[in-house]
Structures are given as C-alpha cells and as structure tokens.
Structure 1
Amino acid sequence: MASPEMVGRSAEIDALLTNIDDSRQQGNLALVSVISGMPGVGKTALARAVAKQLVRDYPDACLEVDLYGFTPGQDPRDPKELLAELLRLVGIGTADMPSSLVGRAELWRAWLAERRVLLVLDNTLNEEYVMPFLPPATAHCVTLITSRSDLKDVDAAIRLSLDVLPEIEAAQLLSLRSNRRFDDGAELMEVAKLCGCLPLALRSIGSLLTELDPRDVAILLSDRKDRFRHLPEIDSAVRAAFEVSYLHLNTSTQKLIRACAWHPGPDMDAFSVAALTASPLSVVMLEMDRLHSMGMLVRSPHGRSAFHDLFRSHAERQANLEDSGEEIRQGQWRLIHYLYFAAERAIEIILECKVRPPCDTFSFPDLNPPEHAAEWLRSTFGELHSMGGLARFLEDGKVPLESSAAFRLFRPIDLLLMVDAGRREYALKFHAFLCATGQFGA
C-alpha cells in the first residue's frame, strides 16, 4: 500500500478513526466503512491515510485491492478471478481452489474469519462487485471501501461522503506538488479555485507550478467554458474521469445528465429538470438521486443541484454529441415557460394577490405560505437570471424587449427586491401595472 500524499482532510480522517474506535468498543468486529465522492476527489488517498493509522492493530495482513470499477480503459475486475489471486496470495494452492465464485468467496471469508486483517477495497463499481470480498460479521477485520457510488445496499457501520478540498487546503496541495514556497497566497488560492479545488486537477496543475508562476497558470485556466483548453493532458484526465462514470449509467440516467447540461446554471432543482425533459417529477427525482449518489451532480445551497465546474463542459460536450439542437431548444423553452409560471405564482402568493391556478403542463413546488414562496424565489435568483439571458438569446431580437420572455423572468425578481426593501405598496402598484400592460401574467 503506497504511502499517501495527503494535505488536509484531518477532520475526515479523525471522524473515520473515531467512528471505527467507537464501533469496536461497542463490540462490533467486522467494521465496514464506505468512502464515496465524485471522480478525482481523493477517496483513495483518504483511505490510505486512514489505513496507515490503523495498520498496527491488524498484524495478520493489510491488503489493498483495486476493483477497477471506474478506471478509464479498463473493465471492472472479475470478482471470481480476483478472489483466486487473493487466495493464492494468502497461500491457498490451486488444488484447493474452488471453481465457483460462491465457493471462492466462502473460502476467502473463512480465511478472514480467523485473522485480524485490514482490507482496502478501492474503486468499487457497485454493491454486487464488492459483496464477495467482505469479511464475515464475526471477523476481527476493518474494511475501507471507496466508490463514486454511495453503495446504499452495503451494510456499512460508517459512511463518509467526500467533498472537494477547502480552498486553503487546495492551495497547500498545489504548493506541495510544486515543491515551492509562494509569497502571494492569494494568487495560489485563485489557481486552486480555477481547479475547482478538485485533487485530480490540483496535483497536475501543482506540477506546472514547479516552473510557472501562479499568475501565468491562472491565465492558462481563464477560459470558464473550457478550463483546460491549453492543457490537453489534464483535460483528457478530467474528461476520462467524467466519461467512465457516464458509461456506467443506464440509458435513462445518461439522458438526464445530458439534459442537465442543457441548463445554463448555476444550479437547478428537480422541478426544473422535469420541465426540461418533459418527464414525470417522480422519475426525475429518482434519477437525480442516482446522479448525486454517483457524484456526477453535487448539492448546492437550498438543496439544489449543480455540476462541479470541471465536469460541466464535458457534460455539455456529451449532450451536443447525442442530442439534437432542436431537442435541446425545445427543452430550454419548456424550462423558460415553467420558470415564469412558477415565479409569477410565487409573487402572487408573496403579495397576497388573487392566485391563479397553476399551469397543468408542469409540476410545481408547494409555494405556500408567502415565506416559502419568497425563499424559493431567492434560491432561484441565479437560475432566473441565467434563463433570462438564454431566453433573450433564443428570441434572437425578434421580440420587443418589454414583452420578451427575458423580461417575464426578471420581473418577479424586481418585485421581490421591492418587498425585501420594505416597499411592499410600491410592489403592489408595480405588479398591477405589469399585469395591465401584459408584462406579467399569462
């Protein structure tokens, strides 16, 4: 097991070690921990760092097994063949080797049952692949599993969902990789932010900093839509990390992640995605939960969803390859219509006007009482702004600005800002004016 290159993560390491110790004191023997997170977030490094702290307590063996669940260019390891390798490694001869997966798994568990073993099962595709390697409940073993999936069906005593590094620790990793000291911490922090604080990118960019100044690297990374355009090797690594996860999704979930890329951001919720795809809300919620569990979408404030900065461009590229321009435009127009119906309804609830029945084309969130409507509208500000800009682009100047879809998306924000500023009576008068002039309302 390689010695980990680790910066930060002290809170996560302490949490895992504390939980393992607490579980052991409670009499739990075969402890299983699942470390999940998006591609390139540092799950393997964290597991190795924790294993390094535990290894003395497990004198019989410390084994790390790469299951190749999400390795670009590699199929996942065949559990039956991998179990044969492990059994041979621990001294089981060919003559005693069962021919079936079940037989080998039973023999593997029997060997573990009599020993104190620390097991790292890295890069796990799903529950089915990892189950044959798990020790029996009576074994004095600790198993650390890493996966892009949260492996909900694995009976784990401890679960940790790993996020990107904090900006300060991301800058420290850049400095470590460059083997340099930097006088201007702000410039290094800016490079860390441009890398999305993702260790996969930070390690490669840190090597560039051996020769280049942070200011020059920041210029190389300045293209928000194509961050690594000038660094094809790094771009290839990030793209491969996204694509290998994408290829392991089923067809309907692939379709949904591409549809999320039709959205201009900065974030979205299930109601918006249901409008984009013209799909039932319940189906969209199930698919989005799957994407969150795979680390392909991340949670943003207010329970909304977003792409990590470094993966959005690859999702957009996949959408442009597989979806027609007309399909994308139709989805975007559906979203525009949903948003201005929802936003207008929210304002009517906030202003306590006569609330019209919702449009039955879409599913809408429950916006009552007024406090909920205001909170929803505030959380949707960024989406309304970006969709307003997209609406104006799609209209291509063919509609007067004052009657455009863009204006209809911006007006609820104007009205809420008036309410928040204590100008409720003015907001009511302005709302009445907008309705009378056709700039508000269906």
Structure 2
Amino acid sequence: MPVRGVRQRALLARLLLEQGRVVSVDSLVAEVWDGRPPRTARTQVSICVAALRKLFRGAGCTDEVIETVQPGYRLNIAGHRVDTVEFAREVESGYSLGQEGRLVEAAEVLKGALRLWRGPALSDVPAQFAETAAVHLSEQRLLATEQLMTIRTELGEHRAIIGELSALLHAHPLREQLRATLMRAQYRAGQRAEALRTFREGRALSIDELGLEPGALLQALHDAILNDTVPAPSADLHSVTEPVVAPSELPLNAADITGRHRELRALDDLLAQTARRRTAVCFISGSPGIGKTALAVHWGRENARHFPDGQLYVDLREAASGSPERTALTVLQRFLRSLGVHHDHMPQDLGECSAAYRSTLADRRVLVIIDNAASFSEVEPLLPGGGQCCVLVAGLERFMHSRGATDLRLGPIGHADSVALLASIIGADRITAESEAVHRLLELCARLPLAIRAAGVRLENKPHWRIVDLVDRLADPERRLETLSHGETSLRDCFDRAVRRLPPDIAATYQALSVIPGDDFDVRTASEVLHTSVSDAEDRLERLVDLNLLEAGRRMRSVGCLSYRYAHLLRLHAGQLPAEQSLEAATLRLTNRIRRNAPTARVSAR
C-alpha cells in the first residue's frame, strides 16, 4: 500500500510512533510541518486522515484503522502488525533468552527481529520528529546487532562473522562492544596479531577523537589476548548448523594423465609448504587442450588424503556472472555454503565474503582448484589468507601477480608419453602394428594431449580403420580440426571456448594473423596485416604469447626482430573462424605487400 503524499507519510509515521496512543491535532500540525504550519494546516490534517483511511479500506481493512479521539487521532493497532512494535518485542525476548543461557534460541529470535529492517528507518519522511525517532531506532538496531554478534561468537561462529564485524566496525569505529567482539572472534580464529592490531587501531582512534583511553572492557580483553587467557566459546558452531560433510567437489577424472612427471613432482613440493602452515598456490598455464585441468584434478584426487577438510572446485568460465568482482562473490558464497556456513549468515559484500572465507579456512586443510581463470582479479578474492590450504589455478595465462606462487607452464608431452597415451586408448597391439603411422599421427596432433585423446577415441570408435586411414584424413589441413572434433574430446570446441573469452581486439588479432603464409612471421608483417603501428602490433603479439596462443621464436636476422608462430594446431583454428571484413582487409593488405616485395618475400603453403 504505497503512501505517496509527503504530508500523509509524515502524519502516518507520527501516529505509528505513538503505538496506539492519542496524538492531538495541535501536535500533528506542529510536527508534520516542523513548527512552520500554514494557516490551513488543521484542514490539511483532516484531508490527510481521510485519504489514509481510504487507502486502508482499499487494502482490505474493514475496521477503522485511524480513529478520531479527542483531542486528535489514534492508530488502532489491535489485530495489526507494526514492525517497530514487533522489533522491540522480539529484541526484548532475545535479550531475555540470552541472559538465561539459551543462546541458540536467542540468536534465532534476534536474527528474526533484525530481518524486519529493510533499510534506514523513516528515510522517506522529511520531518524533524522523524529524524529524531530514526536515530533512536537505529541505535536499538545497532544494540541488537551487537548482542547477536556477541552470542554468535559464543556459539563458536567466530570464523563466519569476522567479515560482518569488520564492516560494522568500519561504519561505527567508536563502538567498543563491536571492537571487543571482533577482537575475540579474531583471536579464536587463530588471528592473534590481527586482534591486537584491532585494539591498537581502536585505542589510537579513541585518543584522537575523544582524548580518552579505551574502556575497561577493551583493556581487559587486550591483556587476556596477550596472556592467551581468553575464555573458549560457550557453545559450538554445530549447535546452530547441521553437521557438515567435508566437501569433495573435484570432477570425475575421465582418464589418468600420461607423463608429466616433472610437473607432478613440482606439485608434490606444495605439500611441504602446507606442512609448514603456509598456504601454497600454483598457477598452471598453457595453450588450450594442453592438459591443465587434467593435471590439476589428477593430482588433487591422488593427494586428497592430505586435505581432510575437503576439496573445492570451480570452473570460472561456467561460473562467470558479469564482472570479475561479481563472479568472485558468487563463487565465494558457493564455497562458504560447501564449508558449512548457513545461508542466514552469508555475507552479501565481496570484501566481507572474502574475509569470512579466509577466516573459515584459517585452521583447515583444504584443496581449492580454480579452473579456466581469465584474470587475476577473479582469482585474488578466492585465495586463502593462511593456514594449510593448497590452491591450484589453471588458465591460459601465467599471471604476473603470482606473489611467490609456483608457476607451471605446460608444453606438449614427450614422444614416448604421447605413444603411451594413444596406447592406453586403442591398445598396444595396434600401436606395434603401425609404428610408422603412429609417429606421423602424433606429429599431426602436435603431441597435444587433447588432440591425441581425440584421435584415440576416433580410432577406438572405428575399429575397422587402420591408423594410417586416420593419418590420411588428418593430412588435409582443412579436415584436421573437424576430424578431431567429435563428442567430449572436440578440439574445435576447446579452442572456441578459449578465444570466446578474449578481449575483442586480441581475438581479432588472433584471427587476422592466420592469413600470413609460412610458419613464422615478424612484427612488421603483423603490423601490415593489422593495419597498425609496429609498437601496437608488438603489444598484441606479446599479449597472445602471454595467453599461450602464440609462441615467440628465434630472432630473424633479415629484419632484426623476433619471429612468432601459432602454438600447436591453433593456426588452423584461427584460419577457419568465420570470416569478417577486418580479416578480408588484412588478407588484401598482405597480398599487396607480398607483391611489392616479391623478390625478397618467401611464401609457403599453409
């Protein structure tokens, strides 16, 4: 039932605040108009009351909600719900339950009371009496929040509420009760240094703003933290939540990886870091189809016993929900649910959510695998702050903000491992029978694990084919990707997904460079094709190198600069993307350049 008139809202708010007591017309006139009423104010009060009564009748109220009682009006609240009345009643009940030691019930009642709030009190009533009442109501809300936070800390929820408490204290930095509760929560979460820092910040603020030392509550808590004598929580988190099973979210390992012994040893070294109570982070990068996800998931499954508190997994490509910040918030909330945080306690702000996540993982051994990461801003909020966790981040790019993390850049697998991978799918007998064809097949697949797996699945599904039959099909560049792109092992789909997430200018560059003949090209040729400056072309080429979509090669003596080439089978993919005007224009520019430099230009068939 919207009340649109400003005076109607003010008059109704004044009656509501009296909770059923009579308000005189003179008081209404003085307060609705802030002491400056017009001569027609008493008449306007009558008009407003009549309009409000009509609104109530239209909303289905059969009784007279606003009664005329000398010397004014009163709101008949019998049989109706008034949120301020309900809030006060539930808060009082919560306080009483808390004093009786019934903390679980007290927490639920206080949470119910605070859910009645939908924003600042009386924010759409422009009158002095409303501002005064709003200050009082906001104070009651804050007191109830402080009490709830204290109870939740005693219930053992200290890890889950640190983010909420930090945000509350930022908004109300001089509230000593809030600061004490945050210090207690930080200490119990194993963040002793943070708890002492919270005290020092509060003390400095109190001296600067008020000229006073902190109160006895904060001083005593500070001494208890220094002496490690802070009492333990009086209840456990499990008393207010259902028992939580350690999450086991790693996807099914469709097939064991072959080879990668050096990389697996590097990942094994991460366990030594976690044993020293340090969070270990590893960034796994490489071109599409190189086996980043397979490596991370395989190692995670093999070492799950080292992470008894659970294994979390997210594919950021599937979880993307707009901006990197929004994606990170969505993922964090899902992780927190997996770790046992109740939806009623779930922070809605990225900073608070990240803080709650770090606090929850502070003393747990959890493996986190973040797949298909496109930017460090997506990943950073998902990194634990300490403890014994391990994080594997898989993506095209090696992030420059790795901050001491381990970096693994995957290349094609070795020949022997390639043969072993193919044999694991089609059997050793077929490998032995056509060893020469196998060698040629692996060359055409560029020893890319996904391509080899796709070829193996193709042969497995076609037992009447010889290996040489598949080699003949793959020998045609126009048919190669199509032949290797069936079902879940589709090479084209893998490449398409990688390019789809690129910025438009980089994606256009990736496509346009495919018109250059031969394997290697230099930055000057690229600038001609892209119709841009040499420096801009070099920036784009290096960006594609960072993304493992191009490879930097030898320095070309003829032009004095580095050469570049597509990684693995990506040149074929770029050349078969739907043609655009920019690509056609690039082809024309390159053709003209070749004609102008015919004596020195070497053109080889793609």
With normalisation by structure 2, the TM-score equals 0.51
Q: Which residue of the partner structure matches residue 436 of structure 2?
A: 186
Structure-2 change in CA distance of 1:99 and 1:326 (3 Å): closer
Larger mean Cα displacement after TM superposition, 54-63 or 96-105: 54-63
Cα offsets for 1:143-173 (capped at 9, x unmatched): 1110012222343521111112223222221
2: CA distance between counterparts of 1:165 and 1:92? 42
Greater relative contact order (Cα < 8 A, sep 6+): 1
Aligned partner of 1:346 in structure 2 is none
1:141 aligned partner: 389
* Equivalence for 2:603: 386
Larger deviation, residues 283-292 vs 61-70: 61-70
Question: Any stretches of 5+ residues in structure 1 without a counterpart?
Answer: 344-383, 391-442
Count residues with an aligned counterpart: 342
Q: Does 1:36 align with 2:285?
A: yes
Which residue does the alignment assign to 1:416?
none
CA separation of 1:258 and 1:68: change in aligned 2, threshold 3 A: closer
List aligned pairs for 1:187-206, cutoff 5 A: 187-206=437-456
Contact 1:262–1:332 at 8 Å: present in 2 too? no
- Structural mapping, 1:365-384, within 5 Å: 384=601
In 1: Cα distance, 2:424 partner to 2:265 partner: 22
The answer to whether structure 1 residue 241 and structure 2 residue 494 are counterparts is: yes
Structure 1 segment 121-132 matched on structure 2, within 5 A: 121-132=370-381
Secondary structure class of the residue paired with 1:5 = coil
Q: Distance in 2 between matches of 1:35 and 1:331?
A: 36
1:228 and 1:277 map into 2 onto residues whose CA distance is: 25
Q: Of 517, 538, 542, which aligns to 1:264?
A: 517
**Separation (CA, whole Å) in 1 of partners of 2:550 and 2:371:** 21
The one-letter code of the counterpart of 2:267 is L
The answer to whether the Cα contact below 8 Å between 2:441 and 2:471 also exists between their aligned partners in 1 is yes
Q: Does 1:329 align with 2:577?
A: no
> C-alpha distance in 2, partners of 1:121/1:178?
32
Whether the 8 Å contact between 1:299 and 1:305 is mirrored in structure 2 is yes
SS of the residue corresponding to residue 68 of structure 1 reads helix
Pick from 550, 553, 570 the counterpart of residue 311 of structure 1.
Answer: 570
Distance change in 2, residues 1:283/1:145 (3 Å): same
Aligned counterpart, 1:108? 357
Which of these residues, 534, 538, 545, is aligned with residue 285 of structure 1? 538
Deviations 1:92-121 (A, max 9, x none): 101111122222221111111121222111
The answer as to whether partners of 1:98 and 1:104 remain within 8 angstroms in 2 is yes
Greater shift after overlay, 85-94 or 176-185? 176-185
Paired with 2:553 and 2:450, the residues of 1 have a C-alpha distance of 21
Q: CA distance change for structure 1 residues 235 and 306 in 2, over 3 Å: closer, same or farther?
A: farther
> Cα–Cα, structure 1 residues 107 and 22, in superposed 2: closer, same or farther, change >3 Å?
closer
> What is the distance in 2 between the residues matched to 1:100 and 1:224?
50
In structure 2, C-alpha distance between the alignment counterparts of 1:272 and 1:235, rounded to whole Å: 37
Distance 2:323 2:448 in 1: 25
Q: Work out whether 1:6 is the aligned partner of 2:6.
A: no
Task: Give CA-to-partner distance per residue, 1:15-42, whole Å, 9 cap, x none.
Answer: 3334x357568x6711110000111110
In structure 2, the gaps of 5 or more residues are 1-249, 556-561
Aligned to 2:203: none
How does 1:22-171 map onto structure 2 within 5 Å? 29-68=278-317, 78-136=327-385, 138-171=386-419
Aligned equivalent of 2:13: none
* Equivalent-residue separation in structure 1 for 2:401 and 2:596 (angstroms): 39
Q: CA deviation at 1:60?
A: 1.9
Secondary structure of residue in 2 paired with 1:149: coil
Query: What SS does the corresponding residue of 1:34 show, helix, strand or coil?
Result: strand
Residues 1:250 and 2:503 are matched in the alignment: yes
More displaced stretch, 174-183 vs 28-37:
174-183
Residue matched to 1:172: 420
Normalised to the residue count of structure 1, the TM-score between the two structures is 0.69
Distance 1:326 1:296 in 2: 22
Kept in 2: contact 1:177–1:207 (CA 8 A): yes
Q: Which residue of 1 aligns with 2:466?
A: 213
C-alpha distance in 1 between matches for 2:345 and 2:488: 47
User: Once the 2 structures are TM-superposed, how far is the Cα of residue 190 of structure 1 from its aligned partner?
Assistant: 1.6
List per-residue Cα deviations over 1:124-156 (Å, max 9, x = no partner): 1211211221110x3221111100122223435
Q: 1:301 to 1:53 in 2, by over 3 A?
A: farther
Distance 1:120 1:231, change over 3 A: closer
Cα-Cα RMSD? 3.1
| 1:319 CA drift (Å) | 6.5
Matched residues in 2 for 1:326 and 1:88: separation? 52
Question: Any idea what SS the aligned residue of 1:92 has?
Answer: coil
Q: Distance in 2 between matches of 1:234 and 1:310?
A: 18
Contact 2:308–2:366 under 8 Å retained in 1: yes
- Separation (CA, whole Å) in 1 of partners of 2:457 and 2:290: 18
Q: 1:288 and 1:199 mapped to 2: Cα distance? A: 25
> Are 2:370 and 2:393, in contact at CA under 8 Å, matched by a contact in 1?
yes
Inter-partner Cα distance in structure 1 for 2:308 and 2:574:
45
Over 3 Å counting, the alpha-carbon distance change for 1:232 and 1:47 in structure 2 is closer
> Relative to structure 1, is the Cα distance of residues 159 and 314 closer, same or farther in structure 2, using a 3 angstrom cutoff?
same
Q: In 1, are the aligned partners of 2:481 and 2:491 still within 8 Å (CA)?
A: no
Partner SS for 2:576: helix
Distance across 2 between alignment mates of 1:279 and 1:80: 39
Q: Following TM superposition, by how much is the alpha carbon of 1:9 offset from its aligned partner in structure 2, in angstroms? A: 0.8
Matched letter for residue 264 of structure 2: I
Q: Which has the larger radius of gyration?
A: 2
| SS class of match (1:304) | strand
